[in-house]
Amino acid sequence: QDAKFVLSGSDDANLRIWKARASETLGKKDPRQERRLEYTETLKQRYATMPEVRRIAKHKHVPRVIMKTGEKQKIMRDSERKKEANRRAHSKAGAKGTKKPERAQAVLKEVV
């Protein structure tokens, strides 16, 4: 109801309850702590347009293995695109075996 928690379930019949804001503490807060949290939230909203603050707010920690895997996949996709562009540029007009553009591959059926 108050969007403080997120529920998730899995195939092995486990139900997990997560805090929506991981850094926020649970339980009762004293007035001084509440004022401090309100003040930091207003500062975030006030300076949200600044690039430095936006970068910090958008930052999400990603494990190194996942980051490296994503980088490798990007390199592989880029090299495949370059290779295909070179094949198209240096092949005869209308040659068979050339790959379709990715946008044309996504089209399953054209409706006329």
Q: How many CA atoms lie within 13 A of 49 on its CB side?
A: 1
pLDDT for 1 beyond 60? no
Strand-pairing partners, residue 17, are 7
Element of type H or E holding 3? none
Strand 15-19 vs strand 5-9: parallel, antiparallel, or unpaired? antiparallel
| C-alpha angle 58-61-62 in degrees, rounded to nearest 5 | 120
77-100 pLDDT, tens digit each = 999 999 988 988 888 877 776 667
pTM of structure: 0.41
